[in-house]
A = this chain, B = another copy of it.
Amino acid sequence: MRVFRESYMAISKFIINALDRISPEEVGSLVDFLIKTYNEGKKVLIIGAGRSGLVGRAFAMRLMHLGFSVYVLGETIVPALNPEDVVVAISGSGRTKLVVTAAEVAKSVGARVISLTTFPDSPLGKISDLVVRIPGRTKVSAEDDYNVRQLVGIYEPLAPLGTLFELTAMVVLDSVIAELMQRLGKTEEDLKRMHANIEI
């Protein structure tokens, strides 16, 4: 279990160190966007492919617990987007075709696009109204990959493909939930009351 242990340590250190490389301004803008969306009764739509899509769903579930009107692209219940609705797109590389296509369509109907990505200059980053940069090795660029490895000393078998991006994004988004709870004056009891009682 040596590799398990090394991987666990490498991943959790990566997450803890990532905080210094995350912009409080960008996260603050995300929080402000979401609170405005909540107050104005607008919708939030989460988009993402693969494991990034799963991280997005975990975030969506908590937003629902907080009382947001929130939806996930690809699920059954996806309403029409209107201007001022917000799309949160998650893609480490910022190049996932289906995500970029969906974000473009969202822009074309007047929705705002917020993206979580490692690459602000990616196709997704470029069309976004707000980019929240999340550190991570990503599956596209060998060179960036090398730089990240230098920084954090994680060799690939310990955290393959988008693992570091996905886990860091999930911790960021769960911390955004804590901030939203405080700003919206919600307690854990409030969240529990919104949780699917059929799944308990």
Contacts and interface: CB of A to CB of B under 8 A. Distances in A.
Interface of A: 1, 3-9, 11-13, 15-16, 19, 24, 27-28, 31, 45, 49-51, 54-55, 57-58, 60-62, 64-65, 70-81, 95-98, 101-102, 105-106, 109, 139, 156-161, 163, 166-167, 170-172, 174-179, 181-183, 187-188, 191-200
A70 to B, nearest CB: 6
A3 B182 contact: yes
Q: What copy number does this chain have within its complex?
A: 4
B50 A187 contact: no
A78 B196 contact: yes
Contacts of A72: 75-77
Contact of A167 (B50, B70, B170): B170
B78 A75 contact: no
Contacts of A96: 199-200
7 contacts: A5-B175, A7-B175, A72-B76, A74-B74, A105-B200, A161-B192, A167-B167
Contact of A174 (B16, B163, B195, B198): B163
Given A8-B172, A54-B61, A73-B198, 5 more contacts: A4-B178, A61-B76, A80-B196, A80-B197, A160-B191
